[in-house]
Structure 1
Amino acid sequence: MTDPTPYGKAPAHTALWAELRRGLAPWTGLAVAVTVLVPLWGKAPQWQGSWGETQSQLHSAAALLAGPLVAAAACRQGGREHRRRTAELLLSVPRSRLAQATTAATPIALWAAAGYLFALAVAFAATAPYAGAGSPSVSIVATDLGFLLSIGFVGFVVGRLVRWRLIAPLLAVCAYVGLGFPDYLDSETRFLSPAHEVMLGGSVPVWWYAPVLLTWTGCIAVTALLAYAARRRFLAIAPLVLAITAGTLVVHTGADLFRDDPAMTRRVCSKSGPGTPQICVNASDAPVLPQMSEALKGMFSRLEGVPGAPVRYVDNGSGPKDGEAALAYVRRGWGITRNRLTDPHQYVQDTALGLVNHDCSAGPGEKGRKEDERMARTTDAVITWLSGEDSLRYPDSRRLARLEAMPDAERKVWLGRFLAVPANCTPSEVPVL
């Protein structure tokens, strides 16, 4: 049977399949997955339970850590023929220089993308059981994948052009610095960096974010590849013009590339009842709402019947209005881990502190210091009584004993006067305890 393939010219897909199965490419995919997952594992309490935080951490690890790794791996792949002293042999191969370069560089890029997708699947699987409002952003996934593919081809071209053996690690260092440095700039050019830190906890990219960013990074890679390997190198002008156009649009838009996430601005509130104020939190924290209500139950019962006591408690992002008070500030990794309050007692104390804390100062001098001390001890006694916890600052407070010894009706009147003290006050406005 006659072989239909001309002698010395194997099908392109056969060569690509061989490159995909062996050599540096499969190890690159494994290295990318490990490089992305290890930092995420160490910060799991900060992102697990929030789609936005999960993708923010994934984006930073993929761009700033995996990106330089892929560039170095592709660079080493590009310099393989120089190290093996077989570069001259490629001149006798019937396939074009562009086809040879694409076949050799594609496996690195594809395995890098596979490693990222594996890390993405693991992170999303860890987040899904605890996720509140919102959903993953397809645009961020697409731009991260496009960046890893693009930097792979750029690294390959560098490896083909530079024969120095240490160029791969040097390229990784330069890529890390080049990707991370723009974040320290105040200029809108920082948005050109694929590693620019994105805050997806409360925002989402605009609908055209992915096409423009993919054009920016992808056309840079195509320009480098065509300028190196194309028979008609002037063809590289077209993708270069597209890259400049996309980059100009990114810089011109700047921070407006992201808008508020409607799902994250929605508030979820608990049911209110007699003696039970309503609690309103961001929709992403809705799974924690029952535990918050349970933790604050004791404080609410102590405030029942107190004149001027809040009828609603809202998270810090809402901004309390008349009749409302701010809840203690908590977020994923700082107060909330896997939809659980890490320290309910501290949460109650911080909420009580926000309710009764006043910016009162009697001024300098001995008399002023004594008045400031009195106000501090009075505030601490109120916080301790409301929270039901022991005071760490004044463990043997006589003022707390006085507050506890008051008749219930008298204590409610006194607490009402204390809550009515304005935020900016004078010592005479603070009732004596």
Structure 2
Amino acid sequence: MSAPTTARPAPAAPHTGAAPHPWRSELRRGIAPWAGVAVLLTSAVTMGAKAAEWQGDWAGTHGLLRWTTMLVLGPLVAAAGCLQGGREARRGTGDLLRQAVRGRPARTLAALGPLVVCVVAAQLVGAAGVYLATWPYSMGGGPTWGHGLLHAADTVLLAGLTAVGFVVGRVVRWRGAGLLVALACYVLFSISTYVGTPLTWLTPARQPGLSEDVPALWLAPVIAVWTGGLALTVLTGHTARRKLLALAPLVAAALAGTVLVQTGGDAWRTDPRAQRLVCDGGAPRICVTERHRNMLAPAGEALAGLRERLAGAPGLPERFVEDPRGHRVRRGSGEVQLPMFTPLGRTVVRGELTDHAVFAWEATAALLFPDCPEPAGGELEEVVWSHLAPAHQRNLTDPAAALERAKRYGRTEEVARTRTALKKLDRLRALPEAERAAWLGAYLSAAQRCDSSALPTL
């Protein structure tokens, strides 16, 4: 009689579930998400450090954001791509992967695709956040479709730099290659920016110096073909079995580059909103360009005291005008140039005038000193200036401070001249309102005509 046998359990059926997608693994355990976070944080810190210079000005926001994308984010993503490309060499798995069923293009897409997606997504989110930050402080106007398309072209630039860095990481098996790639990108873009040749227009973020210009709609696709074609040439030459396939994107990039060089600044035109004026109903009127229409109320508030002191004076200019593009304020035209709002950070910060007193003082300077060959203000110049803009510190409003400044020169003539000016300022303020208005009108009319002989006495 044989011994009983113990029944063994049947072996488990092999797991038939699909293997996780390579992109899922890269997004969970690779550097792609961290690269996206780095791009987002770098953009936020770089733009935030200069917020006073762009927040409120759509054109300034657009320009600085594109330069940040090229000069800061570009080297960063190139280094990230190089780090990703050299991963197999660092791990020693290059020979094993070359024996895999998947070809080089599929392996490259699996390793590079998630990184590009994260980088581009982070750049778009950062750009949207920057524009949202400038919106509450907008001076007026807004970005055009051409501006938006250029940001789309910038995503092609970042994707291309990531791909080029990836190829360098695959070819150059040195741990410090990423740092050199980032440095090379920064130097290349920086030098090409300041080279005074038509080739400068090949720089992806190149644009005219005047912020009033807007790009043509066809410019962004051409830039995308230029930068994307070069990157695709490098990537195709590395991954494709038939290297001649790399000639197609190379030819497309060459044609796009030729268009950029030949057109140059002609791809940009003056924004009509920078030429149209909007005015208030005060006297003299204040007129600003449509791009800065939200500054009309702050400017009127800053010049309220000046308008009040000029009330009733005959022969005044009709309006204070922000100098629009293609228009020059000239004497005798009934216009006086308004102080400039841009570049931001001095007169205007986050949609507000930084100092109403200084703004009124500068407007008074334009009123008293038109473009004369020689100033016609005479000895009463400082007296009138102090009366019209008394809030500014460097005038005769504070007699003690004025005499102290005069004594610093160490000359009795300067002290005597200051005492005389103080007496005349008191005399001007003591005049009856109608007589003072008539005197100011006569003085300002003579100053606007650059006629020193017609200046009234006091």
TM over 0.5: yes
Pick aligned residue for 1:327 from 338, 356, 378: 338
Structure 2 CA distance, aligned partners of 1:238 and 1:117?
28
Q: Displacement, 1:288?
A: 2.3
In 1: Cα distance, 2:39 partner to 2:298 partner = 38
| TM-aligned CA deviation for residue 291 of structure 1 | 2.3
Determine which structure has more spread, i.e. the larger CA radius of gyration: 2
Query: Which residue of 128, 133, 142 maps to 2:141?
Result: 133
- Offset of 1:242 from its aligned partner? 0.5
CA distance in 2, matches of 1:401, 1:45: 41
Identify unmatched segments of 5+ residues in structure 1.
363-371
Aligned length: 415
Distance in 2 between the 1:26 and 1:15 partners? 14
Distance in 1 between residues matched to 2:14 and 2:243, nearest whole Å = 38
Distance of 2:370 and 2:211 partners within structure 1? 31
* Match runs of 1:117-196 below 5 Å: 117-131=124-138, 132-135=140-143, 137-196=147-206
**Residue 437 (structure 2) aligns with:** 412
Question: Are 1:228 and 2:235 counterparts?
Answer: no
Q: Against the structure 1 CA distance between its residues 213 and 68, is the aligned structure 2 distance closer, same or farther, given a 3 Å change threshold?
A: same
Distance 1:199 1:180, change over 3 A: same
> How far is 1:195 from its partner?
3.6
1:369-395 per-position Cα deviation (integer Å, ceiling 9, x unaligned)? xxx9x9575222212211232551444
Letter in 2 for 1:77: Q
SS in 1 for 2:56: coil
Secondary structure of 1:308's aligned partner: coil
Could you tell me whether the CA contact under 8 Å between 2:79 and 2:181 is conserved in 1? yes
The answer to whether the 8 Å contact 2:446/2:452 transfers is no
Residues 405-430 of structure 1 show CA distances to partners (whole Å, capped at 9, x for unaligned) of 33434433332332233568575454
Change (3 A) 1:222 1:390: closer
In structure 2, the residue matched to 1:297 is 304
2:314 match: secondary structure: coil
Q: Secondary structure at the match of 1:420?
A: helix
Aligned CA distance change for structure 1 residues 208 and 226 (closer, same or farther; 3 Å) = same
Query: Is residue 85–residue 166 contact of structure 2 (8 Å, CA) maintained in 1?
Result: yes
Provide the residue aligned with 1:340 in structure 2.
352
Partner of 1:310: 317
5+ residue gaps in structure 2? 1-12, 400-420
Residue 182 of structure 1: how far off its partner (Å): 1.4
Matched, 1:23 2:34: no
Distance 1:279 1:424, change over 3 A: closer
Q: d(CA) in 2 for partners of 1:22 and 1:192?
A: 37
Q: Out of 376, 388, 391, which is 1:389 matched to?
A: 391
1:307–1:412 CA contact under 8 A, matched in 2: yes
TM-score by length of 2: 0.84
Kindly provide the CA deviation profile for residues 99-127 of structure 1, in whole angstroms up to 9, marking residues without a partner as x.
21222112221111121122112112212
Letter in 1 for 2:286: I
Q: 1:50·1:127 contact (CA, 8 Å) conserved in 2?
A: yes
Give, in whole Å, the separation in 2 of the partners of 1:240 and 1:411.
75
Residue of structure 2 in register with 1:213 after alignment: 223
- Structure-2 separation of matches of 1:116 and 1:134: 20
Equivalent residue letter for 1:44: A
Mean Cα deviation higher: 53-62 or 236-245: 53-62
Q: CA deviation at 1:344?
A: 1.1
Cα offset, 1:4, TM superposition: 8.3
Q: Distance in 1 between matches of 2:91 and 2:183?
A: 25
Find the counterpart in structure 2 of residue 48 from structure 1.
Answer: 55
Question: Aligned partners of 1:96, 1:228: CA distance in 2, in Å?
Answer: 12
Instruction: State the AA in 2 paired with 1:344.
Output: H
The 1:423–1:269 alpha-carbon spacing in structure 2 relative to 1, beyond 3 Å, is closer
What is the Cα deviation at residue 307 of structure 1?
2.3
* 2:208 matches 1:201: no
- 8 Å Cα contact 1:360/1:426 also seen in 2: no
Q: For 1:336 and 1:280, how far apart are their aligned partners in 2? A: 17
Do the aligned partners of 2:47 and 2:65 also contact (CA within 8 Å) in 1? Answer: yes
Contact 1:150 1:218 in 2 (8 A): yes
Task: Tell me the distance in 2 between the aligned counterparts of 1:253 and 1:80.
Answer: 42
Query: C-alpha offsets along residues 35-94 of structure 1, whole Å, 9 cap, x if unaligned?
Result: 111121122222222222212121111111000000001011111111111111121011
- The Cα of 1:335 is off from its aligned counterpart by 1.6
- CA distance in 2: counterparts of 1:420 and 1:172, whole angstroms: 61
Which of 65, 73, 95 pairs up with 1:58? 65
Structure 1 letter corresponding to 2:142: G
Whether 1:401 and 2:426 are equivalent positions in the alignment is: yes
The amino acid across from 2:313 in the alignment is V
Between the two proteins, what is the percent identity of the paired residues?
A: 38
Deviation at 1:320, TM superposition (A): 3.1
Q: In structure 1, what is the Cα distance between the partners aligned to 2:369 and 2:113?
A: 61
Q: 1:389 to 1:258 in 2, by over 3 A?
A: same
Q: Which moved more, 1:75-84 or 1:263-272?
A: 263-272
Output the CA distance in 1 between the equivalents of 2:305 and 2:210: 35
Q: In structure 1, what is the equivalent of residue 368 of structure 2?
A: 356
Provide the rounded CA distance (Å) in 2 between the counterparts of 1:93 and 1:238: 29
- How far apart, CA to CA, are the structure 2 residues paired with 1:194 and 1:145? 11
Deviation at 1:357, TM superposition (A): 1.8
Correspondences of 1:6-21 after superposition (within 5 Å): 14-21=21-28
Shift of 1:403: 2.1
Letter in 2 for 1:327: L
Runs of 4+ in 1 over 4 A off after TM superposition: 1-5, 197-200, 358-362, 374-377, 422-433
TM-score by length of 1: 0.88
- Answer whether contact 1:32 1:69 (CA < 8 A) is retained: yes
- State how far apart, in whole Å, the 2-side matches of 1:310 and 1:239 are: 60
Aligned: 1:93 with 2:100: yes
The aligned amino acid for 1:405 is A
Partner of 2:412: none
Residues 149-204 of structure 1: CA distance to partner in whole angstroms, max 9, x if unpaired? 11110111111111122111111011001011112111121121124356573122
